[in-house]
Amino acid sequence: MRLFLLASAAMGAAATANYTASDIVQQLFDLHNKARKENGVGPFECLDSQLSQLSADHVKYEISIDNINHDGFSGRCNKVGQVACGENTLYDFVGDAAKFTQSWMDSPGHRKNILTGSFKHAGFAVEKSSKSGKWFATAMFTDKNPNPNVCDAKPTPKPTKKPTKKPTKKPTPVPTEDPTDEPTDEPIDDPTTSPPLPPKPTKKPTKKPTPAPTDEPIDDPTTSPPLPPKPTKKPTKKPTKKPTPAPVDDKLTELFKYHNEERKKVGLKPFECLDTKLSALALQHVENEIKVGDINHDGWLERCKEAGADLAAGGKCSENTLWDYDGIPKSMTEAWMSSSGHAANIVSKDFNHVGFGVKQSPDKRWFATALFTKDTRGCR
């Protein structure tokens, strides 16, 4: 695609001092649509107030740690719903919408998010750090938003503090280091287009639950994977009959078998490969979940890249995860299949390789993760 050249070199640090963050948000929306037009892509149809608010929340977090990242991306997408979702982020010492847009357009991964035709909604947030003097900006993109009234008004992200009745003029913060004309960090070339995550359980079982929890799997969307269904039953102290869990290696083989049975039911070819690389990455994630005591999709994009399926380069990758008390592969597969987001990963024609990680935690819960990719290489 052709590189979009952005306007007005005259918009420097002095000029942008007259713009508010909300002005820059509108400018970003207009400049992104100009870039799409220049590249033969239809405009974003909606400057989405929910996406702008989610972006604002993330910008505040980045300011608090003084660095850019995509932490919590899946959770932000999941708040919107089951949507295709992408995100760009950066910081600079100049609060210039044109410069932000050009920086993203100069980076292949960020450029791809901006020019993805299926994305129809966009939201932006910009804020200057009072400590470092850096301007942080985040853009979120989705194909739709099932929530009402998100396109009705110009988004105005909520401030963390209510302004006083007569605000005094905000002094220009002194940066902790001399600002340069160029940002010290390039925008993260880690645009996210991840799958939808699963719904988090409405209840978390207490240490000694009497009734069985009935939480549905977490659905944390990104073009990332859905989160796992929580256990349908917690065994009593003296279960009458409980199948003996198979050894872990056997569990992987059984999960592979049951996943392929589900594909066969809908007329799809089986997964070609129980991929040892994917299984190793899935197990690493399971061990991290056990460490934090809950399921999540943290680091999902990095796992995809390590597996050789970089989403920014057009790779195909997704993930399911869950925990339960039984550790039975058939039950795990059925739990995922009972959730539309997880089932979509299992019976997707986009994937031909799969790997599984399964491990029991010290509190006797079984954690399982499935990682799916499209891979033209042989089985590893």
Answer for the pair 366, 323: CB distance below 8 angstroms, yes or no. yes
Neighbours of 261 (CB within 10 A): 12
254: tokens are 């059984």
Token representation of residue 370: 């499935």
- Confidence class of residue 207 from pLDDT cuts 50, 70 and 90? very low
Q: Rounded distance, CA 191 to CA 196, Å?
A: 15
**Spatial CB neighbours of 306, under 8 Å, sequence gap ≥ 6:** 281
Whether 158 has a pLDDT exceeding 60, the answer reads: no
* pLDDT tier at 312, thresholds 50, 70, 90: low
pLDDT over 50 (residue 186)? no
pLDDT at residue 341 in the model: 82
Per the DSSP assignment, residues forming a β-bridge with 137 are 90, 126
- Residue in 100, 171, 94 with CA at minimum distance from that of residue 134: 94
Band of residue 30 on the pLDDT scale cut at 50, 70, 90:
very high
- Cβ contacts of 69 within 8 Å, gap of 6 or more: 62, 89, 188
Going by pLDDT thresholds of 50, 70 and 90, the confidence category of residue 301 is confident
Read off the pLDDT band of 345 (50, 70, 90). Answer: very high
Residue 257's contacts (CB-CB under 8 Å, 6 or more residues apart) are: 329
The winner for highest mean pLDDT among 29-33, 72-76, 241-245, 335-339 is: 29-33
Structural domains present in the chain: 21-142 (3.40.33.10), 250-374 (3.40.33.10)
Supply the pLDDT for residue 292. Answer: 92
**Model confidence band, residue 356 (pLDDT cutoffs 50, 70, 90):** very high
Nearest Cα residue to 17 out of 100, 126, 96: 96
Phi, psi of 263 (to 5 degrees): -65, -40
Sequential DSSP letters for 302-322: HHHHHHT--GGGT--EEEEEE
Residue 288: pLDDT band with limits 50, 70, 90? very high
Instruction: Output the pTM of the full model.
Output: 0.45
Q: How confident is the model at residue 184 (pLDDT cuts 50, 70, 90)?
A: very low
Query: In the prediction, which pLDDT does 48 show?
Result: 96
Which tens digits make up the pLDDT trace of 365-378? 999 999 999 988 88
CA dihedral 150, 152, 154, 156 (to 10 degrees): -50
Task: Indicate if the pLDDT at residue 5 is higher than 80.
Answer: no
Q: Can you tell me the distance from the alpha carbon of 24 to that of 5, in angstroms, rounded to the nearest whole number?
A: 18
Among the listed ranges 3-7, 38-42, 153-157, 200-204, which one has the minimum average pLDDT value?
3-7
pLDDT of 218-239, one tens digit each?
333 333 444 444 444 444 444 4
